[in-house]
Structure 1
Amino acid sequence: MMGESNRTTEIPCEFYSDKYPDPSNHPITIVLFTLLYTFVFLISFAGNMGVIYATIRHRSLQTVQNIFIVNLAISGVILACLSIPLTPVTHIAKQWFFGSLLCRVVGGTQAIGTFIGTFSLCAIAVDRYFRLVIAPGRPLRKVNAMRITMIMWAVSIVVTLPYVYHMNLMKYSPKHGLCGWFCTEKWPSPFSKRAYTIFVLVIQFLIPFSIMTVCYHAIFSFLRKRAKTRLTSIAQQANLLYVLAATAGRETQQHKEQMTHLLDQKKRVVAQKRRVTLILVSMVFIFGITSLPHNFVSTLMEFTDSRDLLTFYKTDYTYIVSLLTHLVGNEPDTTVAPFASLQPLHSFVNRYHSAVIPCANFETVFIWYINEYSGQFSSLAMLSCVTNPLLYAFLNPEFRELVLNGLAGVSWANNFVSKSWHPTQTTVL
């Protein structure tokens, strides 16, 4: 009789992805994103590990700036290993499979990786600014760079602690027909969560973006002025050659060779100027474009309850958009369902005010979901896992050549790197 009584009280339930399917659950979507995520993982992991390996192996690369670049690469490896494999699973399945411990550990590690990446970009910008503009003959010492690195890690861990502390593994409400678990933040009050959101917005985006913009603008102005001086000098030398040729009444072979040499110099300076401009603008632009959408939407959603932001014709496109934005982004996305963060990195960067109440009814679940899903836009960070090794390391000819030789170990790697490439203004950046 007791067994029959228990069976009568059991409430049948379904997984969220089964009860409320969306385009992300389509087999073609699953296959397509599996292939794309695999490709991105291989590129980002190989690129960042190549940076770390080459720097550790070759003493010539163990410079102050490369200490920060290795730190950036470590951040990329952390995000690639913990975000790329877990994000598609949690976005598609709409639940957390990995237990209570990993709910805290994975999210916390991803959060630390995100902060380390951002702080490293700032350190690189400030180091370049002082090395080129303020004190060209007095570079930062390695011991001081190591101290700065330790401070960055300490600050990243401390800032992440509130997020990790409030992470919890929670269960869907069976009485509303939903089964499974989700990993989410549970703050004591909406105010505390909003305060942490604003704090993260300031320290993870506004301050770093401002520092990078100021430093690279100053570097750009300095190098542009130096390029202008060199071009003026070349023009003066060319005019002098014209005067000498006119005075002599004829243009000698020596004059022709000197003029050709000056024209080649001018072309190189102009090309260097364009290359430097492109690189500096790219550094600021990529950081801004991979961080601004997330921060804007997360702040907007912190103070808004919009139920239909990504629902069109009664079809919810939240998860498919989240997968797309995460794939081309750089910070891993964590908020993907009618619950806070399934894969918890972005819940870390997105503090929304509704994730403090257990799922009491479907309306609560839905509103919880609406306030949490905007984290998908912050996922425009995965892009930097691929671009950072290229932008900050492989544009250095020496670095690129050593990495290629280390990976291949055969003659084609030497041929791949142009022997005519000489250090330019780009390499000192």
Structure 2
Amino acid sequence: MNDLEMDTVNISTVIYDTLLNESMDNITEHLLKKLQSYVNNRAINDSALTVLLLAYVLLILAGASGNGLVCMAVARKPQMRTSRNVFIINLAISDLILCLFTMPFSLVEIVLKFWPLGVITCKLVASLQATSIFVSTISITAIALDRYKVIVYPTQESFRPVHAVCTLISIWTVALLLSIPLFIFRTVDHIHVGLPWLDSVDYCLERWPLDHGRAFYSVFSMIFQYVLPIVIVSVAYARICRKLKNRMATNCSKLEEKQERDKKRVQKTNILLISIALIFGISWLPLNILNIIVDFHYTFQDPSVFRIVFACCHMAGMSSACSNPFLYGWLNENFRKEFKDIFSTCYTSFSYNKRSARGETTESILLYSRANGNKTGRTDIRKYDTVVVTTNLR
């Protein structure tokens, strides 16, 4: 029995028991009290709601900030728009969609007892979330395969822009095709209640034309979104680690100091590659397992317990949107350099505005900027001179 069936039975039972056991004077008061969760449209209690709101807000802010930095780094520097960086940008864009659109609406779906946002939103939330997740995992797989090709077969033809464009189109096309069943079969069921304070409720759910259609789709999604990517990523990075180890073994003639430095670099690379595979596997495993179990055998007697368990598994999967900017952005030397430049520019601008507001002179502001390691160059100094013309200094 799903949430819709259980809620329908609960509403009917509450109304019947109240009419049967209470006098007419007390019917309205008792009905309102027993149906309060439906009237307030709340599926979980206050304490659980507070924890979930805090956790989701932190995830959304962290994921949006990290992925926004990745996109900003590429937007501000043409040198960063390389063919290979397109996979990292594609990953950041898909994770931004997860953070800014699907995560807030998923939280709404978890917290509310019924769906008040209409059919189109019901369809878009699930399908766009699935599309973003598929794009994210396929991009992670593409990054692993690209690194494998560069390190294991360094003499092969380099990755060209036209190849990058074709690959991006293929990734989004495959992701859309894999998620389109959710858009087709997800709909809103309208249940008439007929009470003065609760006329009707709408439920956003999936109506599959086959028995256990949702369960089959969950298995299909787990294979293409989790099993295949984790196998490909693990094998690719294992081959890279082996290749780097063999390369170290063949370079025994190097000076001892350089050999030790190369050994540490290889060890750091191996740790990074293993961490990427482990974090990916750990993040998405709980949600995939829960979907399979629930679709084949729903064992939760209390719907609110299921919603909390689902929220925890969902947050574990969505946490990949926070870890990806670190794994593929900050640990990338070129991206890290751009991040530092962005932070330096923001800090310098903030310091300038703060000191300007205190009425300090132009010379002192420029000296302060240089003394604090301004890396923005002469362009920013000219910008300061331009700003000062329109700024009233005491």
| TM-score range for the pair, normalised by the shorter chain length | 0.7 to 0.9
Question: In the alignment, is the contact (CA less than 8 A) between 2:329 and 2:336 conserved in 1?
Answer: yes
Normalising by the residue count of structure 1, what TM-score does the alignment of the two structures yield? 0.67
Identify the residue that residue 227 of structure 1 maps to in structure 2. Answer: 248
2:275 is the alignment partner of 1:287 = no
1:386 maps to 322
Deviation string 1:100-152 (CA, Å, 9 cap, x unpaired) is 11111222211111111011011111111111112445221111011011011
Summarize the Cα distance change of 1:17–1:216 in structure 2 as closer, same or farther, 3 Å threshold. farther
Matched, 1:197 2:227: no
Q: Which of the pair is proportionally richer in helix?
A: 2
SS in 2 for 1:97: coil
Moved more, 291-300 or 144-153: 291-300
1:215 aligns with 2:215: no
Distance 2:373 2:332 in 1: 15
Q: What's the offset of the Cα at 1:322?
A: 3.0
| Pairs aligned (count) | 320
Pairwise CA distance, 1:51: 0.7
Contact 1:97 1:181 in 2 (8 A): yes
Contact 1:25 1:92 in 2 (8 A): no
What residue number does 2:333 align with?
397
Aligned AA (1:25): N
Query: What does 1:77-88 align with in structure 2 at a 5 Å threshold?
Result: 77-88=96-107
Contact 1:44–1:80, Cα closer than 8 Å, also in 2 = yes
Corresponding residue of 2:35: 14
**What amino acid maps onto 2:337 in structure 1?**
E
> Once the 2 structures are TM-superposed, how far is the Cα of residue 321 of structure 1 from its aligned partner?
3.0
Q: Does the C-alpha gap of structure 1 residues 295 and 205 become closer, same or farther in structure 2, counting only changes over 3 Å?
A: same
Indicate whether 1:306 and 2:299 are aligned.
Answer: yes
Equivalents in 2 of 1:414, 1:33: separation in Å? 41
Going from structure 1 to structure 2, the CA distance change for 1:326 and 1:31 (only over 3 Å counts) comes to same
The residue correspondences of 1:22-171 to structure 2 (distance < 5 A) are 24-26=44-46, 28-136=47-155, 138-171=157-190
Equivalents in 2 of 1:291, 1:89: separation in Å? 21
| Structure 1 residues without counterparts, runs of 5 or longer | 1-7, 238-261, 330-380, 416-429
Code of the residue aligned with 1:196 in structure 2: it is Y
Deviation string for 1:384-426 (max 9, x for gaps)?
Answer: 11000110111112211212312441376879xxxxxxxxxxx
Q: Percent identity?
A: 27
Q: Which runs of 5+ in 2 are unaligned?
A: 1-23, 349-368, 376-394
> For residues 162 and 228 of structure 1, what CA distance do their matches in structure 2 show?
51
**2: distance between equivalents of 1:32 and 1:199?**
32
Cα distance in structure 1, aligned partners of 2:373 and 2:114: 45
Aligned residue in 1 for 2:310: 322
> Residues 326 and 194 (structure 1 numbering): CA distance in 2 closer, same or farther, change over 3 Å?
closer
* Contact 2:59/2:322 (<8 A) preserved: yes
User: RCO (CA 8 Å, sep 6+): is it higher in 1 or 2?
Assistant: 1
Deviation track 1:165-193 (CA, whole Å, cap 9, x = no partner) reads 00101234638999532211101121443
Measured against aligned partners, the alpha-carbon deviations of 1:16-47 in whole angstroms (never above 9, x if no partner) come to: 5679987x412x43333323322221111011
Distance in 2 (alpha carbons) for counterparts of 1:172 and 1:228: 70
SS at match of 2:319: helix
Deviations 1:337-356 (A, max 9, x none): xxxxxxxxxxxxxxxxxxxx
The aligned residue for residue 336 of structure 1 is none
TM-score (norm 2): 0.72
